[in-house]
Amino acid sequence: MPKLKWGTTWIVIAVALVILFRNFAGTAPEQRRPPPLERESWSLPQDAPGAEGLPEAYRRAPLYDLAPGGPAGNSVGTAFAVGEGLWLTAQHVVEHCDSGYLLPRADPTRATPIAAVTVHRSADVAVLRLAASADSLPVREQAPLEAGEPGYAFGFPAGEPGAVRGTLIGPIRFRRGDRGTVEPSDAWAESERRPAGLDSLGGLSGSPLLDGGGGVIGVVSAESARRGRFYSAPLSAAWQLLEPDGSAPRPSAARPLRLDAQSFWRTGEELRARESVSLVYCRVD
């Protein structure tokens, strides 16, 4: 079974500590730590159809055991804007946080405390609530993903701007022993990462995964460097946290994007500049 890297590598932790030091040096003691996160868990209704309440496409998908992550510690990840004061990220980015910040453009002078977190009990997605907003990313209308279609993700691997693109392999399921859950995921064959010398995608967790038309189709959650793959939680799971009745994503007025192998890095730079994609700093006391 594949051992997957989640966004908590030592280099990421080191970058996070530098960011924290720079952010709080010289401030008053009462300003150095945000209030503890308010937490809420949300799961599928008990009468949801199918095993573990998974979306239909994932109920018969291959099942893999997911290796547990290392000890909880300070780390960084990525989040993206989905509404007024609402941001999506991967659950494992924030599940162990005692407090946290959103840092637009990875700028520690503009850190905004995360006020509350809602996590999905059977998918690697979470919603952040805080007093900061940015242009929401357009969301792809509910339509099945097709094997072979491209996907593009943008965030802050190792705390620095980075991106990855790939092609869809298909749906899978992860069995998480530490949570006692079976979680839906999509597997992607990695085609390219930027910068080219990027060793790990750690810190890209929680970033938006976009299709060729610029619509969000998932949330990046893990990588398997040995297999040349990365993985994303499906949009349907993420949207359940925002629309518990399962309704389709609301249409977005955001300017449409067009992505391909030549333009995807430039698009990521634009999304970070617009602060629609920001860095998350997680603090574990």
Secondary structure (DSSP) of 241-252: HH-TT-PPPPP-
Token code pair at residue 130: 């805080």
Section 10-35 average pLDDT: 42
| pLDDT computed for residue 53 by the predictor | 58
Best CA proximity match to 253, nearest among 106, 135, 144, 156: 135
| pLDDT computed for residue 152 by the predictor | 97
48 occurs within a structural domain: no
Residue 206 backbone zone (phi > 0: left; psi -120 to 50: alpha; other: beta): left
Q: What is the DSSP letter of 272?
A: H
**193: pLDDT strictly greater than 70:** yes
User: What is the Cα 121 distance to its own chain's centre?
Assistant: 15
229 occurs within a structural domain: yes
What contacts 93, CB < 8 A, 6 or more positions away? 7, 75, 77, 78, 79, 126, 205, 206, 280, 282
How high is the mean pLDDT of the chain?
78
Q: How far apart are CA 228 and CA 154, in angstroms?
A: 17
Q: pLDDT band for position 25 (50/70/90)?
A: very low
Q: pLDDT band for position 251 (50/70/90)?
A: very low
What contacts 257, CB < 8 A, 6 or more positions away? 138, 210, 213, 214, 267
| pLDDT computed for residue 254 by the predictor | 54
**36: pLDDT strictly greater than 80:** no
Q: What is the DSSP letter of 139?
A: B
| pLDDT computed for residue 262 by the predictor | 92
Percentage helix, strand, coil, to 5, in the chain?
A: 20, 35, 45
- Greater confidence (129 vs 225) lies with 129
Task: Please tell me the total count of domains within the chain.
Answer: 1
**1: pLDDT strictly greater than 60:** no
Please report, in angstroms and rounded to a whole number, the separation of the first and last CA atoms in the chain: 33
Helix and strand element counts for the chain (H, E) = 4, 14
258 occurs within a structural domain: yes
Q: What is the CATH number of the domain that holds 276?
A: 2.40.10.120
DSSP result, 119-131? EETTSS-EEEEES
Q: pLDDT band for position 70 (50/70/90)?
A: low
Section 248-273 average pLDDT: 77
49 occurs within a structural domain: no
**112: pLDDT strictly greater than 70:** yes
The CA-based angle 82-102-247, given to 5 degrees, is 20
Section 193-210 average pLDDT: 89
Q: Determine the structural domain holding residue 243 and report its residue range.
A: 1-43+54-285
Confirm if 205 and 92 have CB atoms less than 8 A apart: yes
